[in-house]
Structure 1
């Protein structure tokens, strides 16, 4: 059985918008506000997550963004990301940009339930904030992995929107990552 894992970079106040500064957001570029040890630890964690994941689940914009950055790269992390199965949820994308991708065009809950039956292991969502909001709103996510950056932005698009309902979570892991990042893992707790 598959498990939907939301894996995101976030500021201390939960902002996920424009970490690399390419979107023109006035607080963008916060990802680069950490040192080399932080970036190296973050990269090790990202590579480990990719190697252990069974598939990626992305929205259209994230498919395009990651394809531009990873298709020309090589090495264990890049090779795994480029070869792993990817499922792209979009009603507007014609052809996925990243290889080994399958388009999902049906109703979200049905597509996710089918995907969880077909993929045995972690189905990781990276980026894709619109998709994250939809998954959270429909209670379809099973685990949350946050790499928390030591910056408070005070504004911007947050991981969970204003309309998000309260959902019970249980802490699975808290770990220092590099010199100043925190890695938090929570699992969704559903009523029996």
Structure 2
């Protein structure tokens, strides 16, 4: 069975999207100053274990514009991956090797996990992540905690999020000050 991995960049105060939102921050916002060679290598290694990228509409629209024309090892791996977009408003065909996920999201993703293949990764898409967690579909969280406090913005786990008990698999301090945490769900 394939694992579903949530990968997120998060500030020390739990923010995954700054108050300006992604649309305001096409430059990568607060995470870029910390994205050094070590972080880049870690991201490339993470993609090597996955063949499917699952995302919501907003994240798809942002990342497809930002990455589809990029080159380099990370961009090439990301661009080659099959992408499934959870959306009730998008209609195909989509660019960037993507298609809209058909049917009820939780059922379709549960069926996808039962298929043969490498793991599935989710980037961004905080609302989708909470839906996946609520339906017990997340196997692993890969959270990169940045040494930064923004004091406001969108949180991955806002008040009212379903409780989840996680097991720490690994913790690694990067030279940039970022801490890479991997938690298993259950």
What's the TM-score, normalizing by structure 1?
Answer: 0.86
Deviations along 1:72-126, one digit per CA (max 9) or x if unpaired, are 1222221111111111111101136442223113212201111101243310000
| Structure 1: unaligned runs, 5 residues or longer | none
Number of equivalences = 184
For residue 37 of structure 2, the aligned residue among 27, 35, 40 is: 40
Deviations 1:125-175 (A, max 9, x none): 001112112112222111000111001122211111222121111000000
User: How far, CA to CA, are the matches of 1:10 and 1:113 in structure 2?
Assistant: 26
Distance in 2 between the 1:93 and 1:86 partners? 14
> 1:50: Cα distance to partner?
1.4
What secondary structure sits across from 2:159 in the alignment? coil
Q: How does 1:143-182 map to 2 (within 5 A)?
A: 143-182=140-179
1:63, 1:97 within 8 Å by CA — same for their partners in 2? Answer: no
Instruction: Write the distance in 1 (CA, Å) between the matches of 2:165 and 2:106.
Output: 20
Mapped partners of 2:19, 2:48: distance in 1: 23
**Distance in structure 2 (CA, Å) of the matches to 1:21 and 1:162:** 19
Q: What are the superposed Cα offsets for residues 6-25 of structure 1, whole Å, 9 maximum, x if unpaired?
A: 00000011110149975348
**Residue 186 in structure 1 maps to residue 176 in structure 2:** no
Structure-2-length-normalised TM-score: 0.89
Residue matched to 2:11: 11
What's the counterpart of residue 133 of structure 1? 130
C-alpha distance in 2, partners of 1:162/1:16? 14
8 Å CA contact 1:21–1:29 kept in 2: the answer is no
* Structure 2: runs of 5+ lacking an equivalent: none
